[in-house]
Chains A and B, each alone.
Chain A
Amino acid sequence: MKDPGVYFIEGNIACAEAAMKVGCRFYAGYPITPASEVMNHLSKELPKVGGRFVQMEDEIASIASVIGSSWTGLKSMTATSGPGFSLMQENLGYAVMTETPCVIVNVQRAGPSTGQATKPGTGDVMQSRFGSQGDYEMIALSPNSGQEMFDFTVRAFNLAERYRTPVVLLADAGVGQMREKVKIPEDVPVKERKRPSSNETEFFDTDEEDHVPPMPDFGEGHELLVTGSTHLGDGTRDTASFSAQDNLVRRLVAKIDGNRKDIEDWEEKNVDGADLVVVSYGSMSRPARGAVKKAREKGLEVGFFRPKVMWPSPEKRLREIGEDSKVLLAELSLRGYRIEVERCVDSDKFYVYDRLNSLPTIDEVYQKIEEVLS
C-alpha cells in the first residue's frame, strides 16, 4: 500500500490502493483486460496489509468467494470486465438477496461478448442495474478520472457497508488504464456495517427507517440461515407466503430507493437556463465537458450534467433539465444509458452523440453541439 502522497498512476491502480485504504482485506478474481491491473496490484499488495488474495477458476467462483468472505466480516471485492461481469450476474442477485456488502468493479470494454478487449465502451450500464433476475435496486458509481477511481472506490465500499448491499464501480477502459495524478490522502472516510447485539434474532428484517438490518459474522454465535430463497427475519426460508415475499423484496428496494438523497451524486454546471445540456459520464464525460466549455467560450448557452452515481439514477434532476432544455447524451456506447435518459426527456428535445471503440476529441463532440443548436 502506498504512503499518502501524490502519484502518477493508472486508474486501476488507484482503485486497488483505495480498496486497501478503506479496509478491503479480501480479493477474489479472475484476470481480464482491461481490469487486470486491479487484481495484479492487489495480488502483491493485499497480503502485505494482512489481507487475503485468491485467484479463482472463473468469475462465478470469484464473486461467490467474495460473498462468503464478506460474511466472515471482511470488506471484500472483485474486479472484472464485460464477459466476467456477465458470469457474475446470478451471484450478484444472491448478494442483493442475502444483503451482503461487497464491491464489484467492472472496467467496461467494447462489447457485446468478447468484443474488443483493449478498447473502451460503456455498454454495461443497464446490465449493472438489471443484469440479475427479479426485483431489486442497485448502486453503481461512474468515475471519470484517476482521482475518482480512488475516491469512488472508497465511496463504493462505504455505501456497500452502509446499505448492506453489493455496489458496482462502473468504470471503463478509458479511466481504468489512463495514468493521471492521483492524491492518496492520509485518511479516508470509513463506514462499517451495522453489527447485531448478542441477543439479536432478526438479521434480514428491521423496523429501522433506513431499512438496513444488522449483519453478524460467521462464527459469532448467532443462529441464522443465509439463503437466496425468500426468507424471514432470521433467514428461515419461506418460498410460498405472500407476506414473506412482499415484506422482503419491498424492503430490499426501499433500502436503496428510500435513501436516494444520501446515495445520489452528480456534477452540474450552467444547467439552469441553458438551451442545451450535455449529459455524459465515465471517460466520455471528459471530452464532453471540454466541448461544453468550448461552446460557452463561443457564446452558446450550453450546460453540463454528469451523473457520478448512475444507479439509482438522478431521474428527478434529469426530468427538470429536460423540461427547460434540449438534452444531448454523449456516451461511449449505443445503448448504454440511453433508455434511462430518454425516458426523462421529451423525445423532440433528446439528442445523442454515441461513439464506439475510442474516445472522441473535444472538437468532435463540439461539432455535434453546434449541429443540435443550429
Chain B
Amino acid sequence: MKIRIGGWAGQGTVLAGTVLGKSLSLEQGYHVVQQRSYSAAVRSGIAYSDVIADKEELDELVIEIPDYLLVLYQDTLDEWEDTARKTEHLIVDSSRVDRLPETTGEIYLVPAGQIAEDIATSKAANVVLLGALAGVSDDIDIGCLEKTVRKEFPSKYTDLNVKALESGYQKVHG
C-alpha cells in the first residue's frame, strides 16, 4: 500500500504522513516506512510525505505511482499531473483544487479546507483528508487513526483534529 500526501510547505503534509505512518505501524502492525520531501527553500515550495506499508518487511522505499494520492494544493497537483493520471485513488481538497487531471482512477472531492475551517481552522485540512483516506481504503482503520491523533497532538488541539478526521471519513464513507 503506497500513499503520497502532497501540498504546499506549511500545509502539514509531513505531519499527516507521520500520523498515518504511526497509525499503520504501531496500531495496525504493518511494516511501514515514511519519508518526507521538501525543497531547500526556507519557505514555500512543494512538500510531501510518502508512506509505504506492507505485511512483509520493506525494502521498497520509493513510490513511483501511489495507490492513494492526497493533494492539498492546486500547484502541487499541476506539477504531479502525470502521477495523478495514473493513481487509482485521487483524493483532493476541493476547497483549493478545481482543475483536475483526466484519470481512469477514482477521484474523491473533499472540501477539506472548508470542512476544517467550519470546525475551527483551515489548518486541519490535512487531517480531514486523512479521514477521507480511511473512508476510501478498507486497509486503513479510522479507529487506529483516531487513537494516533489523540496521542500525537497537544491536548488542546485533540478534539478539533478528531472532529476533522471524522468529518473527512464521513464525507466519503457516510
Binding site for B on A (CB under 8 A): 6-8, 33, 116-118, 174, 177-181, 283, 286-287, 289-290, 293, 358-362
Q: How far is the CA of A33 from the CA of B34 in the complex (A)?
A: 18
Does the CB pair B40–A362 fall under 8 Å? no
- The answer to the question of B59 belonging to the interface, with a C-beta cut-off of 8 Å to chain A, is yes
Residue of A nearest to B38 (CB): A118
Per DSSP, chain A at the interface is mixed
* A283 contacts across to B, CB distance below 8 A: 61
Does the CB pair A290–B26 fall under 8 Å? no
Residue of B nearest to A284 (CB): B61
* B170 contacts across to A, CB distance below 8 A: none
Given A177-B35, A178-B33, answer yes or no on A8-B40 (Cβ-Cβ < 8 Å): no
As a 0/1 sequence over residues 107 to 127 of chain B, the CB contacts with chain A under 8 angstroms (1 = contact) are 000000000000000000000
Binding site for A on B (CB under 8 A): 18, 21-22, 25-26, 31-40, 58-62, 64
Does the CB pair B59–A286 fall under 8 Å? yes
Given A8-B26, A179-B18, answer yes or no on A362-B59 (Cβ-Cβ < 8 Å): yes
Could you write out 7 A-B pairs with CB less than 8 Å apart?
A118-B40, A181-B26, A181-B32, A286-B59, A359-B61, A360-B62, A361-B60
Residue of A nearest to B41 (CB): A118
Q: How far is the CA of A324 from the CA of B137 in the complex (A)?
A: 48
Does the CB pair B26–A289 fall under 8 Å? no
* B31 contacts across to A, CB distance below 8 A: 181
Q: How far is the CA of A180 from the CA of B35 in the complex (A)?
A: 9
Given A116-B40, A179-B18, answer yes or no on A287-B62 (Cβ-Cβ < 8 Å): yes
Residue of B nearest to A117 (CB): B40
Given contacts A8-B21, A179-B18, A179-B33, 7 further A-B contacts (CB under 8 A): A178-B33, A178-B34, A181-B26, A286-B60, A287-B61, A290-B60, A361-B64
Q: How far is the CB of B152 from chain A (nearest CB, A)?
A: 10
Does the CB pair B33–A180 fall under 8 Å? yes
Q: How far is the CA of A361 from the CA of B2 in the complex (A)?
A: 13
Q: How far is the CA of A287 from the CA of B63 in the complex (A)?
A: 12
Given A178-B34, A179-B34, A181-B25, answer yes or no on A359-B62 (Cβ-Cβ < 8 Å): yes
Given A178-B33, A286-B61, A360-B62, answer yes or no on A6-B26 (Cβ-Cβ < 8 Å): yes
Does the CB pair A358–B62 fall under 8 Å? yes
Residue of A nearest to B23 (CB): A8
Top 3 A-B pairs ranked by shortest CB distance?
A: A290-B59, A179-B34, A8-B22
* A179 contacts across to B, CB distance below 8 A: 18, 21, 32-35
Does the CB pair A289–B59 fall under 8 Å? yes
Q: Determine which residue in A33, A360, A361 has the highest number of CB atoms from chain B within 10 A of its CB, and name it.
A: A361
Q: How far is the CB of A154 from chain B (nearest CB, A)?
A: 22
Residue of A nearest to B49 (CB): A179
* A293 contacts across to B, CB distance below 8 A: 59
* A33 contacts across to B, CB distance below 8 A: 40
- The 8 Å CB contact of B62, one of A6, A7, A361, is A361
Q: Determine which residue in B21, B58, B62 has the highest number of CB atoms from chain A within 10 A of its CB, and name it.
A: B62
Q: Determine which residue in A116, A117, A290, A293 has the highest number of CB atoms from chain B within 10 A of its CB, and name it.
A: A290
Q: How far is the CA of A116 from the CA of B36 in the complex (A)?
A: 15
Q: How far is the CA of A117 from the CA of B38 in the complex (A)?
A: 10
* A8 contacts across to B, CB distance below 8 A: 18, 21-22, 25-26, 32, 34
Q: How far is the CA of A346 from the CA of B139 in the complex (A)?
A: 49
* B21 contacts across to A, CB distance below 8 A: 8, 179
Residue of A nearest to B31 (CB): A181
Q: How far is the CA of A300 from the CA of B35 in the complex (A)?
A: 31
* B26 contacts across to A, CB distance below 8 A: 6-8, 181
* A287 contacts across to B, CB distance below 8 A: 59-62
* B38 contacts across to A, CB distance below 8 A: 118
Q: How far is the CB of B57 from chain A (nearest CB, A)?
A: 10
* B64 contacts across to A, CB distance below 8 A: 361
Q: Determine which residue in A33, A178, A179 has the highest number of CB atoms from chain B within 10 A of its CB, and name it.
A: A179
Residue of A nearest to B34 (CB): A179
* B62 contacts across to A, CB distance below 8 A: 287, 358-361
Does the CB pair A118–B33 fall under 8 Å? no
Q: How far is the CB of B61 from chain A (nearest CB, A)?
A: 5
Q: How far is the CA of A33 from the CA of B36 in the complex (A)?
A: 13
Q: How far is the CB of B148 from chain A (nearest CB, A)?
A: 9
Q: How far is the CB of A41 from chain B (nearest CB, A)?
A: 15
Q: How far is the CA of A149 from the CA of B3 in the complex (A)?
A: 25
Q: How far is the CA of A8 from the CA of B31 in the complex (A)?
A: 10
* B60 contacts across to A, CB distance below 8 A: 286-287, 290, 361-362
Q: How far is the CB of B50 from chain A (nearest CB, A)?
A: 10
Residue of B nearest to A361 (CB): B62
* A290 contacts across to B, CB distance below 8 A: 59-60
Does the CB pair A177–B36 fall under 8 Å? yes
Q: How far is the CA of A290 from the CA of B33 in the complex (A)?
A: 14
Residue of B nearest to A179 (CB): B34
Q: How far is the CB of A81 from chain B (nearest CB, A)?
A: 13
